Structure formats: C-alpha cells, structure tokens
Structure 1
Amino acid sequence: MHLTYSHILGTGMYAPARILTNHDLEKMVATSDSWITERTGIKTRRIAAEGEVTSDMAVAAARQALDMAGTKPEDLDAIIVATISPDMPMPSCAVMVQAKLGAKRAFAFDLSAACAGSLYGLNIADKFIRGGAQRVLVIGAELLSRLVDWEDRNTCVLFGDAAGAMVVGPTPDANRGLLSVHLHSDGTSAGLLAIPGGGSKHPQSQEVLAQKLNKIAMSGREVYKYAVSVLPETLQEALKANGMTAGDVDHVVSHQANIRIVESVLGKVGIPMEKCWINLDRYGNTSSASLPISLDEASRAGRLKEGDVVLMMAIGAGIAWGSAVMRW
C-alpha cells in the first residue's frame, strides 16, 4: 500500500518592529534585566504596533512561507491558524487570513491549544495531506501584549508578539517528511495557565475588567515543574515510535517559554543544547508562533540539511503538549 507522507515545503515568520527590552521593563514593573535573564533567558521581545492585529502578522508570515514553497494562495486547500489571541472571538482569525491572502479555495479555521497549537495544527495538516489535500497552510500567531497584565511582573516579562507559518504538502519519499506526532492534554491542570474572563464563565463586564480576569494568569513554578516532567516522556515516546535514540537526532525545534525548561528536558533525554535552535532571548515566549519561527530561522540559517532528523516539542495551557519527529 502506497503511503503519502506530509512534508514542510516552506516556512515563514513575522515579528513586529518594536523591541521591548528588559531595561525598558525595569521602568514599568519591579524587575531587573539580570532577574529576567537568569530565570527565563529572555532579553527582548516584540510588541505589535497600534492598529496591528493577529491576522496581519499571520498573513505576513504566511506570504514568506508560500513564497518559499512556490505556492499561490489560491492553490491552498486549507488554512489552520493556531491562536489564543484572535482578532475577535468570532469569526475565526483563519477566515481573516483567508480573505487577506485571497485564498478563495481554502477552508479555514482556528484551533486553540495555546503554546502547543502549531504542533496540533501540523498533526491536523498531516491528516488532511494523507487524505488527499495538496497544500495546507499552518500558522501560529499570537498578539499577547494585549492579553498580559503589565503590572504583573511574573507574566508581563515573558510574552511577545509574532507569527510563524508552514506550508505542508505531500511527498512520495518515505525517507522524508513527518514521521509521527504525539499529542497529550491534561484538563485537570487547566488552572495553572489561563485567561479566566471573557467567556461564558466570566462574561466580559466591568467587574471582569476591574479584577483583570481578561488577562493571562499563571502559576509559573507549577507550569515549570509540569513541563520538565512530561516533555522528556513525550520526546522518548516519539523516538521510540520511530526506532530511534537521542543520538539519531540532528536538530531540536522547540516551543520556547523558558531556557531552563529546554535545558532540563534535553538534559534528561541526553541531547546536547547546541542541537536546539534558541531564539527566546530575542522574541520571548510567542506561544503558538514559537515553534514555526524556530523552524523558519533554523531552515534559513542553513542548519537543516535534507535527511536530517528533526525532533519537535511544545507545551502550553490546557495543559496541552506533544512531540513530533520529522525527516527534513
């Protein structure tokens, strides 16, 4: 039986022009450059311009990915946007992207898996490709600067605005493409990272705004402990599923929330840090955009060679997490 494998044909990214440094944050909240750097590895993050919305960033990243893939917008079968910060609650950010790109044939929808969103999106795109689709656009786009409480020093220092995109298509080569994806969720830990207000539980109101329930709330230490516990397990799961060991991995492409999480996880699995593309020092935690941005930068820097084994991982609110193995 002939199997169709899905392969990433093009990548792209977009980060707003405005840079917010740790020294800028020192003037806004009780924090310091050394405190932020030591605990997170973040030095700067990007902030969207006034009037700029999530779909604008998504389209900019998408155009780069489409260009690399040699694909016209009208040739897309589907557009998947992973985001927790869409332009508006309804309709989806993806239909805004579809309209702005002029991708008339594509059906479009959003998915919500927070920082793990792009990995979830990649898995769905893989299913569409195996089912006969020819071109699927997966975008992770987040405008988190409007969702953080700028008086909460535990969260406002972490997040940045950006978008990353991947064009996924079929490859007949069984030695290339996405080999497996492994996804997990644990709703019993949903309270560790959330935006409690704005939904049916706490509808938008003056009280919700006054209590800042419409902003990101996080138990940072607990999220860290959870991440360093489950991510090594899912990386081992991905390697085992493909008959591989840590030594077979050429590159790691990871969602980047905190440098200490990445160091701890790779240390436990036995993969040297130099195999992981690191950029959170420049962009901060960009949630669903983080993984495709890292893939795009690593690809354009010439780090990824044909046939290389790429191991992916991500974890975010939900709690949702996962891993993937791809042969580039």
Structure 2
Amino acid sequence: MTVPRPSPSVLPVRILGTGRALPSRVVPTAEVAALCDPSGGLTAEAAEARTGVRERRWLSGTETALTLGAQAALNALSAANVELQEIDVLLNASGSQAQPIPDGGALLARELGLSGRAAYSLHGTCLSFLLALQHASLLIASGQAARVLIVSTEGGSVGLNLTQPESALLIGDGAAAVLLGPAVRSGQGLHAARIETYPEGAEHTRIRAGGSLLNARSPGIQDQDYLFDMQGLGILKLASRVVPAFLERLRPGLSTGLPGISRVIPHQASKVGLDLLRRYNWPEDRVEVTLPTLGNVIAASLPLTLHQALTAGRAGEGDTVLMVGTGAGLTAGGLILEF
C-alpha cells in the first residue's frame, strides 16, 4: 500500500539574526601546501588553482570549536536583540564532534551558560545546518518553540590527513549561528526542503575510527584511521549523476535555471564543486561564495555563506534563497526559504 505524501505548504518562520566567529589564525594556502609536500613540489599557485582557496582559518591557542560556537551564538542573539534565556531550543548542527559524549548540544549550552532548555544535535556532516533549519521550522510551525538557535561550529583542522592534499588544502575552521522565530507575514518561511542519501558513496568521505566499529582497542588501529579521508573523484562522479534529478524533485526547473530564486547559498565543498553549478545555468552573480577566504568549513560553510549574503545586502526581506549542497553519505540536500 502506497501512503500519499501530504501536499507541501509553507512553514511560517523567519530568520531573526545571524552571527559568526572565526579563529584568529589566518593560514595561507602556501603554508598548507608546504605541510602537505615539504619537498616544495606542490606550489602555492598550483594548490590555489586546484582548490580555489587562498586562505582559511585554523584554531590556535585557547580557541576551540566550543568557544567559537558560543561566540557565534552570542553574535546572532545580539543581532536579533534577543536574550540568551529567551531561547526555547539550542540545536548543535556541526559536522565535527567536540567529543563523542555528552552530546555537543549540552557542551555548547554549558559554554553559553544556558540551562534548563532543550539542547541537542542534528548531525548530517556538511548538511547538518540544513537538517537543523528544517527541524527548527517544524518546531516553530507546530507551536513547540518560538525561538530556536542553530549553531554550526567546526574544528576540522585538527583531523586533517596531510598526506591527502586534496582534502587538507580545503578545510577551514569557524562557526556560524542562526536564530529562527515565527513568520510575520504571509508567504514568509520554508517553502521546500529535501534530503536524499545514496549510500553507495559512503566510502568516499569518512573518518574510520572513533566509533564502535573501529576504536582504540581494535587490532591494528593506526593514527591515520582517526583522520579525514576523502575520495574526491568518486564524490564528483556520484554527485554529477544524482544531483540534477534531486534538484528537479526539490523544485521543477532547478536543474536548468533558478525559477523563483533570488540567491543561491551553496555548500562550499570545493572549486570543482562550485564550478559544477554552471551546468545548471545558475548565473554566477546570484551564487554566494566564501570558499576563497574561508575554505570548506564543513557544516558551518552554509550558515557562514548565508551570513555573508545577509550582511552584505545580497539577500534580505522578500528574497527567496536556495540553500543546497552535498555531504558524506553521499547525501544531497536543499531547502528554499523566503525571507
């Protein structure tokens, strides 16, 4: 028996404020290239041309993903003129974990000094923010919450495999936060959201150790098993095959244009990944990019790029934004939000 899906409707939510926090250490591509290839065979020019990244931020000193996340959260609250204790739910939407347990939501709440509120994680690697935004919209639309704070904070630089320049040259650290509340006008809110997972790509992006399958007591465990492992070509081949049809299911016409879309906020996966967007006939001047100066900040890439578009005035009241990307799994995700 096939159960019919309910007709889509707008979830009436709006963004009240956004904020970001970046590590103080700026790392040029030349420095990362030298770490990946001490012989000098990988030049900074070649590395930048390959990745599209000029510089990124890495944690240093006393900075942690938790301190960055808390600062981004406070910045978003300040932008919205909302007090911390007015939050109903705190969602941790981060791809890299501070530690396995307790949940990162509890750790962020402790860092913020927030007690007695729901605080938990939604983890979808690079698409964690999209999952959290959809979840927050459902909470608000159903009346279960009035203000939901989403925090995406990443410290992926600590787990880079420098023998794999393909990924090591891409990853940066940083945090972004978005505060959501009820809509104030008709049509404002989440118009569409879709997630599709293609597990044939599960081996393309992974950190093998640290869970119950492979851990410190496993025979033959090696340090590199705890480091980030990415097979970029496999990801691109699979994404090229599945994403066009995925876009059509999200909204008909998206694989050949931008029907009803004012601005695109894509995950900053890589230069090649962003270049692939051209095949969908999406004008470059309507696509927001942060890759050259921030790199791929995992789950924080989407909210950091959204924050840039909003603060620069390239997205705002009345605009309809497409947020889209892929994550490990391989998972494709996108949502359409009217401001």
In the superposition, the TM-score normalised over structure 2's length comes to 0.90
What is aligned with 2:33? 26
Q: 2:105 aligns with which of 78, 87, 94?
A: 94
Kindly indicate whether the alpha-carbon contact (under 8 Å) linking 2:10 and 2:187 is maintained by their aligned counterparts in 1.
no
The answer to whether 1:110 aligns with 2:121 is yes
Kindly indicate whether the alpha-carbon contact (under 8 Å) linking 1:7 and 1:176 is maintained by their aligned counterparts in 2.
yes
Task: For 1:228-247, list aligned pairs within 5 A.
Answer: 228-240=240-252, 246-247=258-259
Amino acid aligned to 1:178: L
Kindly indicate whether the alpha-carbon contact (under 8 Å) linking 1:48 and 1:143 is maintained by their aligned counterparts in 2.
yes
Secondary structure at the aligned position of 2:166 is classed as coil
Secondary structure at the aligned position of 2:146 is classed as coil
The answer to whether 1:269 aligns with 2:276 is no
Amino acid aligned to 1:296: H
1:51 and 1:269 mapped to 2: Cα distance?
43
Q: 1:146 to 1:304 in 2, by over 3 A?
A: same
Shift of residue 288 of structure 1? 0.3
What is aligned with 1:124? 135
Secondary structure at the aligned position of 2:226 is classed as coil
Structure 2 unaligned runs (5+)?
A: 1-8
Q: 2:230 aligns with which of 210, 218, 233?
A: 218
What is aligned with 2:185? 173
Q: 1:179 to 1:4 in 2, by over 3 A?
A: closer
Kindly indicate whether the alpha-carbon contact (under 8 Å) linking 1:57 and 1:141 is maintained by their aligned counterparts in 2.
yes
Task: For 1:179-328, list aligned pairs within 5 A.
Answer: 179-205=191-217, 210-240=222-252, 246-265=258-277, 267-328=278-339
2:87 and 2:129 mapped to 1: Cα distance?
18
1:183 and 1:277 mapped to 2: Cα distance?
21
Secondary structure at the aligned position of 1:88 is classed as coil
> Once the two structures are aligned, what percentage of the paired residues are identical?
27
What is aligned with 1:85? 96
**1:227-286 per-position Cα deviation (integer Å, ceiling 9, x unaligned):** 3333333333333399x9624221001110112212212x23221011111111111110
Q: 1:17 to 1:211 in 2, by over 3 A?
A: closer
What is aligned with 2:155? 143
In the superposition, the TM-score normalised over structure 1's length comes to 0.92
Secondary structure at the aligned position of 1:263 is classed as helix
Decide which moves more: 87-96 or 286-295.
87-96
Secondary structure at the aligned position of 1:104 is classed as coil
1:233 and 1:186 mapped to 2: Cα distance?
13
2:58 and 2:219 mapped to 1: Cα distance?
27
Amino acid aligned to 1:216: F
Q: 1:205 to 1:157 in 2, by over 3 A?
A: farther
1:4 and 1:151 mapped to 2: Cα distance?
45
Q: 2:16 aligns with which of 5, 9, 13?
A: 9
Structure 1 unaligned runs (5+)?
A: none
